[in-house]
A = this chain, B = another copy of it.
Amino acid sequence: MTDTQAPAQPGTGDMAGLSRRSLLRAGLLTGGAAAGAGLVSRSALAGDPLITEVQDWNRYLGDSVQAAPYGKPSEFEAHVVRRDVEWLTASPESSVNFTPLHELDGIITPNGLCFERHHGGVAQINPADHRLMIHGLVDKPLVFTMEDLKRFPRENRVYFLECAANSGMEWRGAQLNGCQYTHGMIHCVVYTGVPLKYLLNEAGVKTSGKWLLAEGADASAMTRSIPMEKALDDCLVAFKMNGEALRPEQGYPVRLVVPGWEGNMWVKWLRRLEVGDQPWEQREETSKYTDLLANGKARRFTWVMDVKSVITSPSPQAPVAHGKGPLVISGVAWSGNGTVQRVDVSIDGGRNWKTARIDGPSLSKAMHRFYLDIDWDGSPLLLQSRAMDEQGFVQPTKNELRLARGDNSIYHNNGIQTWHVKADGTVENVEVA
């Protein structure tokens, strides 16, 4: 294998190296074909015992369309939910639950499965009562109702949102048992909102205004300092996600979108924007969301979420059930610096790499979906993925990160993840030297 191979383009019809012979050799279809031949000889005329036996749904009327004005997943998908780690936090209000990445595909996270992280619980806000204030070093302080905000030109953008602490416990080798827990503090949706620069321009930022304080209307009154350059660049004041209103746990009725930067800055239930001439040194940017180095000093204002990826299937929660033969290796990659240019996958713990196929839209600061389609010979695998972004940054190993920053860090772990696929198809979270 080589790491210089160009990625296959989506939609070319190339079966990514899977020959028909290989599929037959793998035993995937010969059994099916035999059964199929049996089925066909009868079912083309009179139907097949196997199928009629299980086809109650084909013999009786189904459910009414009026049963679900707002639809829900199938009862057979009841296991596909966000999950928290009860022992991780002191209270369920200041807590977190995780996106089930191992059950998802593509690049869009459905709203019902977007991870949550709160510091004071989920505020339940009536949008008619909500206000957004802009004040401080501005010509004209302003207060906006939700109706006011919806009269400005709006934009739609697909962005990932990753908590700075995503994969944080892996820094010290916790080896949590599944990508939902190791990497599930991320989601990616389409945001609809007003570019923040339009609102700041309405208020008229004074030349001395270099920083912005964003404050949430929840019980923690979450506050973060944001440099004016970012505020005037690509930030959005968003009121919709994936076409519908923001979910309560995502800041309904309005949140700040800070593309590519750590999720804690995407202030939910946004109530106040203050313009100042220096950062505010709030708790969430001093005692929290800084990176304590080995020498006792701390990295601060480490806002950008660096290039990162993880294989979502196979993974500890998504073992290989079908034995050897054709195996779809799938995962997600993202970078706060822009688009992901390439993802390489190793099945031998990083000794050899093969370029994966990135499929679907490749959008700046959005999740990317990659696949490597292989014939699994049934021997154990050490699966890794390594992403590279448009600025040339390459995802490091966990040990490279530890050498650079010591063992104290919790935030900004974008190290390469390793899954050990055993001969029986079960998968473990491991580290390779």
Contact = CB atoms under 8 A, between A and B. Distances in A.
A39 B133 contact: yes
Contacts of A120: 61-62
Interface stretch (A215-223, A281-289, A337-345, A390-398): A215-223
A229 interface: no
B244 A113 contact: yes
A66 B107 contact: no
A322 interface: yes
B249 A68 contact: yes
A25 interface: no
A141 B40 CA distance: 7
Given A123-B58, A361-B361, A70 B112 contact: yes
Given A113-B70, A121-B61, A133-B43, A148 B36 contact: no
Contact of A118 (B62, B69, B82, B127): B62
A92 interface: yes
Contacts of A357: 153
Contacts of A269: 57
Contacts of A252: 74, 76
Contact of A57 (B150, B218, B243, B321): B218
Interface string A27-39: 0110011011101
Nearest to A72: B112
Contact of A106 (B54, B197, B242): B242
User: Chain A interface residue count: which class?
Assistant: 35 or more
Nearest to A232: B13
Interface string A144-185: 110110111111111000000000000000000000000000
B110 A110 contact: yes
A135 to B, nearest CB: 4
Given A62-B124, A151-B327, A242 B110 contact: yes
Interface stretch (A16-24, A292-300, A380-388, A413-421): A16-24
A124 B75 contact: yes
Contacts of A96: 65
Contacts of A142: 29, 32-33, 36
A155 to B, nearest CB: 6
A378 interface: no
Contact of A152 (B72, B83, B326): B326
A105 B66 contact: no
B360 A363 contact: no
A333 to B, nearest CB: 14
B371 A153 contact: yes
A209 B103 CA distance: 37
Contact of A64 (B93, B202, B321, B322): B93
A116 to B, nearest CB: 5
A403 B28 CA distance: 55
A432 interface: no
A328 interface: yes
A122 B244 contact: no
Interface centre among A57, A61, A147 (most CB of B within 10 A): A57
Contacts of A271: 51, 58
A199 B153 CA distance: 46
A108 B242 contact: yes
Nearest to A10: B155
A309 interface: no
6 contacts: A15-B201, A55-B217, A58-B221, A63-B249, A71-B111, A74-B124
